[in-house]
Structure 1
């Protein structure tokens, strides 16, 4: 409830909103001081509601890379997962950058 009432609109505008701001928002709206755990979990829940979870972003990553290749002919894209689930790295270079670097 704290996430939806207090944090959603503010996090959309300020994704890096400090926890102190969260505390003051709850205090001014309800006149209560909430625990650190509730502050953290409320902010986390609101953030995930707006931007999604790490897991959902990770699952969508191959689609992002495919869209990047489709929209940019000649692009070089490499990425690697360790043990199938651990993200290791991603690299991409656009074709004009590759061509320009070859002339340096």
Structure 2
């Protein structure tokens, strides 16, 4: 799917990542907890890192999508996750963003 909007909001991009995560419906509560913990760590470490909210967005999206490959198989699920991310409707993210998320 072609990159649609570089002007999409943080919330719109997170919502799109959540929709993809829910589409594969592999333990959504786990993914949401990982997203929450990743965001808390990011914020807690903000005084010592130089990252922006753009990087936080990618971290949260990766947290939401990191294990969706389990819907295919537990064996090499990380590779299946990459495949599903590539094939999914994540048009609000650029190719560069997706490479980081994967």
TM superposition score normalised by structure 2: 0.27
More strand by share: 1
Structure scoring higher RCO (CA < 8 A, sep ≥ 6) equals 2
Rg larger in 1 or in 2?
1
TM-score, normalised to structure 1, is 0.27
